Amino acid sequence: MRLNRWLERTYAASSTRPPRGLIRAAGAIHRLAIISTGGRIGADLLDHPILLLRTIGRRSGKLRTQPLMYLREADCYVVAASFGGHDQDPAWLTNIRATPQATVMVAGREIPVLAAILAPNERERLWPRFLSLSPAYEKYQRSTNRQIPIVKLCPAEPDRAQI
């Protein structure tokens, strides 16, 4: 566990952000590990919980799946749209804006959710929890001109879920 924290602090102290292609490739490998092992491998990263967020592509209409670090807030899951500190939003966030119905896979369970981008006051309340979850979030916010959005994923009523 101490090695994990050291790796995180070292990464967070660096001045470079990961290239977009590396973020996408790492996400693809991570997604494959979680799906192919039913969540036995990859469900946590450096001792942090990971969920799979499945959205509908805003242009393609295809299902898109992204592994994301998350926090719990009551019966909901909360994720940050950091995209490694890049100035553009991650594709999954633009998909959520187009279609807020999504699915998360947590601990091998698929849960239909309704996504909501949090208002600034709610974001400010939750942002310190992300900073305590991983020091990388502070680096990501320093690296970008945009305020990193936080998205709440709450269980949807079964008849409202589209995925």
- Kindly state the tokens that stand for 3: 């090695």
pLDDT one-digit tens code per residue, 7-19: 555 555 556 666 7
Q: What is the pLDDT of residue 49?
A: 87
| Strand residue runs (E) in the chain | 44-45, 48-56, 63-69, 71-73, 76-80, 101-106, 109-117, 150-155
CATH of 2-155, one of 2.60.40.1230, 2.30.110.10, 3.40.50.2300, 3.30.360.10: 2.30.110.10
Domain assignments of the chain as residue spans, ordered by start = 2-155
> Would you say the pTM of this structure is higher than 0.85?
no
Q: pLDDT (tens digit, 9 = 90+) per residue, 88-135? A: 999 999 999 999 999 999 887 899 999 999 999 999 999 999 999 888
